[in-house]
Amino acid sequence: MFTYDRVLNKCKKGRVEMKLANEAGFSNNDFIEMYRKMWQIRIFEETLEQLYKNGEIHGTMHLCTGQEATAAGSAGLLRKQDWITSTHRNHGHSIAKGTSIEAMLAEILGKKTGTNQGKGGSMHIADPDHGHLGSNGIVGAGFPIAAGAALTAQMNGTDQVVICYSGDGATNEGSFHEAMNLASLWHLPVIYFVENNQYGMSTATADSMNIRHISQRSQSYGIEGITIDGNDLIEVINTTFRAIQKAQSGGGPTLIEAMTYRYCGHSKSDQRLYRKKTEEQWWQDNFDPIKRTKKTLLEHGILTKEECAQIPLVVQTEIKAAVVKVRKDPKPDLTDLETQVYAE
Amino acid sequence: MKEITYLEAIHEALDEALSNDEKVYLLGEDIGVYGGGFGATKGLLEKYGAGRIRSTPISESAITGVAVGSAMTGMRPIMELQFSDFVTIAMDQLVNQAAKIHYMYGGSTKVPLVMRTAAGSGTGAAAQHSQSLENWLAHVPGLKVVQPSCAYDAKGLLHAAVEDNNPVMFYEHKLLYPLKEEVPESKFLIPLGVAAVKRAGSDLTIVATGIMVHKAIAAAEILAQSGIEAEIIDPRTLVPLDEDTILRSVAKTRRLLVVTEAVKRSGFGGEIAAVVAESDLSMQLLAPIMRLGGKAIPIPCQQDLEYAAVPQIEDIVKSAMKQMDAFKGGLV
């Protein structure tokens, strides 16, 4: 497994920077595992698309196809005891944090065996056993919640860190600014990871803010902000790794703006009238995170062409099998309707 | 037992909770050296340090969100919103987050937080610092709502709120802070969802909340001079609501008057009235159920206007008399 602990061990030996697997000292398998995760995310989303077309999914969903590197390269660095908070577009983060694909499928197909026992659906995947504090349907609500979890870590004196995922649009919410200020003031071990996929639903970032980079907003709160190529897995890993280290050493929060692009619409009702098909094609042709990672792995001899082709096929088979299995799972019982409103 | 004020009772409960459980911590605006908006946290910073008595920037949304996030991960935050009117700025975190997380996440996560706040009119603070919005939160499944009317209840209920594994909204009334009564010196709990019979009587049931309990008791003394014995029920917690105690009382008196300071329209008084109206007792009532509540206006500043904006003792007496008259009029 590619884990943060391994990175840390290498770091202790005096190598903070890592450019590639072999340079940073990761085994080839670590990188292959991350590449596999990216395929899992992509195929999971494509599978949902199909299930939705079949009429098997009740409710909408927000797919993250095209944003696989931001999820895998950041949540993939965390240990089980570290925490994330996520958004309506959470499937990538959830998979990368270690939530079971089968339990997610079950949740989205409305099964009792789902992560949330069928009560949350796609938008609210939560899995505290794997440090996933939950996905939120209210844009921007996760910012202070993540700060609260980071405060728990700080007050308990642990080295746990929190990654708070958001989209670009969420940074226009007041909660972003309040949380940023408080997290900075209290030096909380939280990383604000903004996936700038260029659109808040239909509104382009340029039409919703008068600054060039969302990372500039960090200056107002006395924290470090950085804009990176979010479709470059290595850059995501390096940046997140440094932010984790800083958080653990009492350096407080970091605002990471990862530039990326969502291939599909905001949700299932989106016909994408606000952007050109040529723009979408341009991103897919030139900046696809999976293609770019594959190229790197091939160039460094970590994988052969055949092995590269094999990975998505294996993932595809696994997810197909999960769908077949989960379809047979029971629905929640009507007696579950009024349970869990209050905790014991 | 020692005679202390409502404010001191709250302070004592906070102090005991902090010393009993290291997961308990306080956060809110000016709760440190200043001692909180009304002084409930005075001296706690010196005793427990800035790590557990966390004075925050003016950021109600962040205060509430931090409370939610830390509660989800094992802490037991007690947050203070200086005035209950500021709940409007914290609403997303209370309503969409704290209230829903346990259910929406399939029971996997608990949110054991207490939101303490000072509510009510009578201080000349006008429209944005005098409201009684407890019914807003009572409407939301997943939240519990507590509204103590006296020092004894405030201490026992606050301890119960802190030990509850759910988000509990704790409404204090500003005018009650200086009121004194005997309160046990050590920790004790009053379970949430148990009403108190504050005065026994057989002619008419008055269910009153918060400060209205005191006005109802004063009104009952006046009514007693005319031979009318009112029974005063204080629900103490709106959610969960102790319907049994209310129904038991009305079964005896067959008359119900509900008094809240909150605006009558769409208020919790309607909920209490409905408890009786929807029960078998409704066919046995000797008079129509009556509600008294705040006028449907923003609370004004000027003293006479402010006084007239919410139910007063004389209003309760008048309404009670009317209920008794309905019987005299031949409604059997």
Within 176-235 of A, beta carbons closer than 8 Å to B belong to: 178-179, 181-182, 185-186
Within 264-323 of A, beta carbons closer than 8 Å to B belong to: none
Q: Note whether B177 and B213 are same-domain residues.
A: no
Instruction: Choose one of B121, B154, B183: the last residue of a domain.
Output: B183
Structural domain contains residue A106: yes
Nearest chain B alpha carbon to A342: B142
Structural domain contains residue B191: no
For residue B10, give how far its alpha carbon lies from the nearest alpha carbon of chain A (Å).
24
- Mark yes or no for CB contact B73/A343 under 8 Å: no
Q: Note whether B175 and B258 are same-domain residues.
A: no
Chain A residues close to B93, C-beta within 8 Å: 141, 144-145
Size of interface A-B (CB pairs under 8 A): 150
Question: H or E stretch including A133?
Answer: strand A132-135
Structural domain contains residue B189: no
Residues B35 and B53: beta-carbon distance below 8 Å: no
For residue A130, give how far its alpha carbon lies from the nearest alpha carbon of chain B (Å).
12
Q: Note whether B288 and B313 are same-domain residues.
A: yes
Instruction: Choose one of B148, B183, B218: the last residue of a domain.
Output: B183
Count CB atoms within 10 A of the CB of residue B229: 14
Chain A residues close to B101, C-beta within 8 Å: 134
Question: H or E stretch including B88?
Answer: none
Structural domain contains residue A156: yes
Structural domain contains residue B146: yes
For residue B193, give how far its alpha carbon lies from the nearest alpha carbon of chain A (Å).
13
Count CB atoms within 10 A of the CB of residue A219: 11
CATH number of the domain that B43 lies in? 3.40.50.970
pLDDT in tens, A154-163: 999 999 999 9
Count CB atoms within 10 A of the CB of residue A337: 10
* A19: containing domain: 4-268+278-328
Residues of B annotated as catalytic (active site), given as ranges: 60, 129
Q: Is the pLDDT of residue A296 over 60?
A: yes
Across the interface, of A148, A341, A342, the residue whose CB is closest to B65 is A148
Structural domain contains residue A29: yes
For residue A59, give how far its alpha carbon lies from the nearest alpha carbon of chain B (Å).
15
Q: Is the pLDDT of residue A111 over 80?
A: yes
Nearest chain A alpha carbon to B94: A141
Structural domain contains residue B188: no
For residue B250, give how far its alpha carbon lies from the nearest alpha carbon of chain A (Å).
29
Across the interface, of B74, B92, B106, the residue whose CB is closest to A115 is B106
Find, among B310, B306, B308, B307, the residue nearest to B293 by Cα: B310
Q: Note whether B102 and B24 are same-domain residues.
A: yes
Structure tokens at A254: 């970091």
Within 187-216 of B, beta carbons closer than 8 Å to A belong to: none
Q: How far apart are the C-alpha atoms of A267 and A61, rounded to whole Å?
A: 6
SS3 A247: helix
Chain B residues close to A146, C-beta within 8 Å: 69
Q: How far apart are the C-alpha atoms of B157 and B137, rounded to whole Å?
A: 18
A344 at B interface, C-beta within 8 A: yes
Q: Note whether B159 and B241 are same-domain residues.
A: no
Nearest chain B alpha carbon to A338: B103
Residue tagged 């610092």 (tokens): B129
Find, among A187, A224, A191, A166, the residue nearest to A78 by Cα: A191
- Mark yes or no for CB contact A340/B106 under 8 Å: yes
B155: left (phi over 0), alpha (psi -120 to 50) or beta: alpha
Report ipTM for this prediction.
0.96
Question: Over its length of 332 residues, how does chain B's per-residue pLDDT go in tens digits?
Answer: 999 999 999 999 999 999 999 999 999 999 999 999 999 999 999 999 999 999 999 999 999 999 999 999 999 999 999 999 999 999 999 999 999 999 999 999 999 999 999 999 999 999 999 999 999 999 999 999 999 999 999 999 999 999 999 999 999 999 999 999 999 999 999 999 999 999 999 999 999 999 999 999 999 999 999 999 999 999 999 999 999 999 999 999 999 999 999 999 999 999 999 999 999 999 999 999 999 999 999 999 999 999 999 999 999 999 999 999 875 654 44
Nearest chain B alpha carbon to A337: B103
| Dihedral sign from CA coordinates of B34, B37, B43, B47 | negative
Chain B residues close to A341, C-beta within 8 Å: 102-103, 141-142
A82 at B interface, C-beta within 8 A: no
- Mark yes or no for CB contact B73/A149 under 8 Å: yes
| Dihedral sign from CA coordinates of A114, A137, A155, B137 | negative
Among B18, B55, B66, most A C-beta atoms within 10 A, so best to mutate, is B66
pLDDT of residue A301: 85
Nearest chain B alpha carbon to A144: B65
Structural domain contains residue A113: yes
For residue A342, give how far its alpha carbon lies from the nearest alpha carbon of chain B (Å).
6
Chain A residues close to B112, C-beta within 8 Å: 343
Q: Note whether B97 and B240 are same-domain residues.
A: no
Structural domain contains residue A339: no
Amino acid at residue number A101: I
Structural domain contains residue A338: no
Find, among A76, A253, A249, the residue nearest to A182 by Cα: A253
Burial classification of residue A283, based on how many CB atoms lie within 10 Å of its CB (0-12 exposed, 13-18 middle, 19 or more buried): middle
Chain A residues close to B110, C-beta within 8 Å: 343
Q: Note whether B27 and B155 are same-domain residues.
A: yes
Q: Which distant-in-sequence residues (6+ apart) come within 8 Å of A338 by Cβ?
A: none
Count up the domains in chain B and report the number: 2
For residue A293, give how far its alpha carbon lies from the nearest alpha carbon of chain B (Å).
34
Q: Note whether B134 and B63 are same-domain residues.
A: yes
Across the interface, of A117, A134, A179, the residue whose CB is closest to B62 is A179
The gap from C-alpha A71 to its chain's centroid, in whole angstroms, comes to 3
Q: Which distant-in-sequence residues (6+ apart) come within 8 Å of A288 by Cβ?
A: A66, A231
Q: Note whether B179 and B231 are same-domain residues.
A: no
Find, among A120, A125, A101, A116, the residue nearest to A47 by Cα: A101
Q: How far apart are the C-alpha atoms of A130 and A100, rounded to whole Å?
A: 9
Count up the domains in chain A and report the number: 1
Structural domain contains residue A342: no
Structural domain contains residue B270: yes
Burial classification of residue A207, based on how many CB atoms lie within 10 Å of its CB (0-12 exposed, 13-18 middle, 19 or more buried): exposed
Give the strand pairing for B114-119 and B196-199.
unpaired
pLDDT of residue A47: 98
CATH number of the domain that A172 lies in? 3.40.50.970
pLDDT of residue B327: 57
* B269: containing domain: 196-328
pLDDT of residue A300: 83
Strand segments (E) across chain A:
83-86, 132-135, 162-167, 190-196, 199-200, 203-204, 224-229, 254-259
Max CA distance (Å), chain A: 58
- Mark yes or no for CB contact A341/B92 under 8 Å: no
Q: Note whether B286 and B156 are same-domain residues.
A: no
- Answering whether pTM is above 0.90, one says yes
CATH number of the domain that B322 lies in? 3.40.50.920
Kindly indicate the confidence band of residue A3, based on its pLDDT and cuts at 50, 70 and 90.
very low
- Mark yes or no for CB contact B65/A341 under 8 Å: no
B79 at A interface, C-beta within 8 A: no
Structure tokens at A288: 């696809």
Within 137-156 of A, beta carbons closer than 8 Å to B belong to: 137-138, 141, 143-153, 155-156
Kindly indicate the confidence band of residue A268, based on its pLDDT and cuts at 50, 70 and 90.
confident
Structural domain contains residue B190: no
Structural domain contains residue A273: no
pLDDT in tens, A5-43: 444 444 334 333 334 443 345 667 888 899 999 999 999
Chain B residues close to A340, C-beta within 8 Å: 102-103, 106-107
Residues B210 and B133: beta-carbon distance below 8 Å: no
Structural domain contains residue B299: yes
